[in-house]
C-alpha cells in the first residue's frame, strides 16, 4: 500500500510538497482551510507572481534555517516550472515571472501537476491538532480525523491573514515541543511620524534608504520610496522593514534623495540653483530634482519659507537643506501590521529540522515554506524557498 501523506496548507510550499510526495509514490491529501487552494499565490507580484530570481545568493535570506542554503543552491526555478509546462521570463533586475504574466497561470500549472499525480485536495478543512502514535499520525480538523503515515506542515506564517494564514499552527507546535521564533511582520511599510509624511502622501521618489538602528547603519537599499498614510513604503523600504521591526522605536529610516550626485557636490548644486532661481519662491528652488510637494517639505524642514524668495534662505537653512537632501531621518513609530506584510520573519526554528526538513522531534513529520524561520528579501526569494523546500522533502517508506 502507498504511504499516506497529509499536507497541511494548499499554498506555494504545500502544492510543491504534494507534487513531490506524489512523485515519490505516496497517496497524498492536501488539507486547506480556505474554500480554494493558492489564494495568496494569486496576489503575488501584483498578480504577476515573481516566482524566482536569476542566480543564487543566500545573503537575501534571513533566519535560523541555515540548512536552506544547500537546498536553495541546488534548486533551479526555471527548470522546476518547465517540468510542468510553465515557461518563465526574467526582467532586467533578475526577477523571474511566468511568461503569461499572470499569477493564476502559476497556480493552474501546479494544480494540474498535482491532479495529474493523483493528489486529493480537501478544502475548508482547518487543522486543529496533530497526534503521533506508533509511527502514524492522526490529523484533527475539529471533530473530523484523518490518518496518515507522514504529515507535511506547509501552513505558512502569520502575514496576510486574509489569505488563510493566521499563525494557528504555532501554539500547536509549541505544545508539541517545537521552538517557534516569535513571528513578526516583514516586507511591509515602515510606520513613521504621520505629521512628517502627511503632506507627501501618494508621492514617490528614487532614493537610497538606510535602516539606522541603535545609532548604526545596519542595512542599505536603493529604489523607489513611496510616502503613504503615516508610513514609508516601496520595495527598498520593505527590504529594511525586518530590521526596523526588530529595533522598534530605536530605529530610523534615513533617505538620500539625490543618490546619483556625489555628496560633496550638494552645496555647490544648491548654490547653482540659488543663483538661477534666487528670485523665485523657495518652494520652486528644487524643481527638476524632486517632486514639488517633497521639495517643499524639505525646505520647511530646513527652517526656510516656501513662499519667500529662495535668496532669503539663510546660510544655516541652506546647510540644513543640504543635510536633509542627503540624510533625511524618519523615526520608526509603532509596529508594522501582519495585515500589511508580505512575509513572516520567525517561525519554526532551524534546530527542529534536519537537512531535508524532517522533524528532529517526531518521525514522519516534515516542514516547508514560510512556517519555518526563514524569510527572504523582495525579488522572488520567498516563493523560491517554498518551491525548493517542498521539492526537497524525502518521504521515505
Ligand atoms: C501580497 C503579497 C505579494 C507577494 N508577492 C511575492 C512575490 O511576488 N514573490 C515572492 O517570492 N513572494 C511573494 N510573497 C510572499 C509569498 O507569497 C509567501 O512567502 C508564500 O506564499 C508562502 O507560501 P507558503 O506555502 O509557505 O504559505 P501560504 O502561501 O501562506 O499558504 C499556506 C496555506 O495554508 C493554509 N492554512 C493555514 N493554516 C491552516 C490550517 N491550520 N489548516 C489548514 N490549512 C491552513 C492557508 O489557508 C494557506 O492557503 C507575497 C506575499 C503577499 C502577501
Residues 160 and 127 in one domain: yes
Give 248's pLDDT tier (boundaries 50, 70, 90): confident
pLDDT of residue 397: 64
Residue 397 lies in a domain: no
Across the chain, mean pLDDT equals 95
pLDDT of residue 265: 96
Residues 199 and 326 in one domain: yes
Ligand 1 centre to CA of 77 (Å) is 17
Ligand 1 centre to CA of 2 (Å) is 29
What is residue 106's three-state secondary structure? helix
Ligand 1 centre to CA of 186 (Å) is 13
pLDDT of residue 243: 86
Percentage of residues in the chain with pLDDT exceeding 90?
93
Ligand 1: nearest atom to the Cα of 125: 43
Residue 313 lies in a domain: yes
Q: Is the CB of 160 under 6 A from ligand 1?
A: yes
Residue 337 lies in a domain: no
pLDDT of residue 246: 80
Side-chain half-sphere exposure of 216, counting CA atoms within 13 A: 4
Residues 89 and 24 in one domain: yes
Ligand 1 centre to CA of 161 (Å) is 9
Residues 171 and 197 in one domain: no
Ligand 1 centre to CA of 59 (Å) is 22
Backbone φ and ψ of 386, nearest 5°: -70, -50
Residues 171 and 89 in one domain: yes
Give residue for cell 522598534: 248
**Domain membership of residue 197 as a residue range:** 190-331
Residue 96's CB: how many other CB atoms inside 10 A?
22
Percentage of residues in the chain with pLDDT exceeding 70?
100
pLDDT of residue 289: 94
Whether 169 shows a pLDDT value over 90: the answer reads yes
Q: How far apart are CA 327 and CA 66, in angstroms?
A: 35
Tell whether the torsion through CA atoms of 172, 173, 177 and 179 is positive or negative.
Answer: negative
For residues 370 and 215, which has the higher predicted lDDT (pLDDT)?
A: 370
Q: pTM for this one?
A: 0.94
Give 1's pLDDT tier (boundaries 50, 70, 90): confident
Residue 389's CB: how many other CB atoms inside 10 A?
33
Residue 338 lies in a domain: no
β-partners of residue 53 are 95
Residues 29 and 148 in one domain: yes
Whether 143 shows a pLDDT value over 80: the answer reads yes
Out of 55-59, 113-117, 332-336, 368-372, pick the least confident. 332-336
Residues 8 and 65 in one domain: yes
pLDDT, tens digit, 9 for 90 and up, residues 282-331: 999 999 999 999 999 999 999 999 999 999 999 999 999 999 999 999 99
Give 247's pLDDT tier (boundaries 50, 70, 90): confident
Q: State the total domains in the chain.
A: 2
**Count of helices and strands (H, E) across the chain:** 12, 21
Side-chain half-sphere exposure of 297, counting CA atoms within 13 A: 20
Residues 305 and 169 in one domain: no
pLDDT, tens digit, 9 for 90 and up, residues 228-244: 989 999 999 999 998 88
Residues 9 and 138 in one domain: yes
| Domain final residue pick, 331, 356, 380 | 331
Ligand 1: nearest atom to the Cα of 390: 25
Which one of 15, 52, 122, 156 would you pick to mutate in the ligand 1 pocket, going by the greatest count of ligand atoms within 8 A of its CB? 156
β-partners of residue 98 are 88
Ligand 1 centre to CA of 208 (Å) is 29
| Domain final residue pick, 309, 331, 353 | 331
Q: Whose CA is nearest to atom 46 of ligand 1?
A: 164
Ligand 1: nearest atom to the Cα of 384: 11
Amino acid at each position: 500500500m502507498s504511504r499516506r501523506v497529509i499536507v497541511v496548507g494548499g499554498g506555494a510550499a504545500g502544492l510543491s510538497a504534494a507534487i513531490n510526495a506524489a512523485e515519490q509514490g505516496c497517496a497524498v491529501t492536501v488539507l486547506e482551510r480556505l474554500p480554494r487552494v493558492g489564494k495568496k499565490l494569486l496576489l503575488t507580484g501584483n498578480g504577476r507572481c515573481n516566482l524566482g530570481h536569476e542566480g543564487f545568493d543566500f545573503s537575501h535570506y534571513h533566519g535560523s534555517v541555515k540548512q536552506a542554503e544547500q537546498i536553495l543552491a541546488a534548486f533551479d526555478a526555471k527548470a522546476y516550472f518547465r517540468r510542468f509546462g510553465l515557461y518563465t521570463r526574467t526582467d532586467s533586475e533578475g526577477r523571474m515571472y511566468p511568461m503569461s504574466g499572470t499569477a493564476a497561470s502559476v497556480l493552474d500549472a501546479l494544480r494540474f501537476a498535482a491532479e495529474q499525480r493523483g493528489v486529493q485536495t480537501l478544502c475548508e478543512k482547518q487543522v486543529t491538532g496533530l497526534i503521533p502514535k506508533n509511527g502514524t499520525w492522526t490529523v484533527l480538523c475539529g471533530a473530523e480525523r484523518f490518518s496518515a503515515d507522514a504529515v507535511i506542515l506547509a501552513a505558512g506564517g502569520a502575514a496576510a491573514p486574509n489569505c488563510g494564514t493566521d499563525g494557528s499552527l504555532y501554539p500547536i507546535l509549541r505544545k508539541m515541543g517545537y521552538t517557534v521564533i516569535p513571528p513578526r511582520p516583514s516586507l511591509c511599510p515602515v510606520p513613521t511620524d504621520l505629521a512628517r509624511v502627511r503632506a507627501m502622501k501618494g508621492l514617490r521618489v528614487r532614493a537610497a534608504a538606510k535602516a539606522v538602528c541603535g545609532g548604526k547603519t545596519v542595512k542599505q537599499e536603493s529604489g523607489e520610496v513611496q510616502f503613504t498614510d503615516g508610513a514609508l513604503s516601496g520595495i527598498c523600504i520593505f527590504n529594511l522593514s525586518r530590521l526596523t521591526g526588530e529595533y522598534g522605536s530605536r530605529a530610523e529610516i534615513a533617505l538620500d534623495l539625490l543618490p546619483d550626485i556625489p555628496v560633496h557636490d550638494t552645496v555647490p548644486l544648491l548654490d547653482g540653483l540659488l543663483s538661477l532661481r534666487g528670485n523665485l519662491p523657495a518652494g520652486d528652488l528644487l524643481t527638476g530634482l524632486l517632486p514639488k510637494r517633497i521639495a517643499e517639505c524639505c525646505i520647511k524642514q530646513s527652517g526656510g519659507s516656501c513662499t519667500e524668495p529662495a535668496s532669503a534662505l539663510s546660510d544655516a537653512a541652506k546647510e540644513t537643506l543640504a543635510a536633509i537632501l542627503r540624510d533625511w531621518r524618519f523615526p520608526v513609530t509603532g509596529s508594522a501590521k501582519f495585515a500589511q506584510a508580505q512575509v513572516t520573519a520567525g517561525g519554526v526554528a532551524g534546530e527542529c529540522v534536519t537537512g531535508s526538513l524532517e522533524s528532529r522531534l517526531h518521525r514522519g513529520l516534515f516542514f516547508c515554506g514560510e512556517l519555518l524561520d526563514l524569510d527572504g528579501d523582495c525579488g522572488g526569494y520567498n516563493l523560491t524557498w517554498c518551491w525548493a523546500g517542498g521539492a526537497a522533502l524525502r518521504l521515505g517508506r
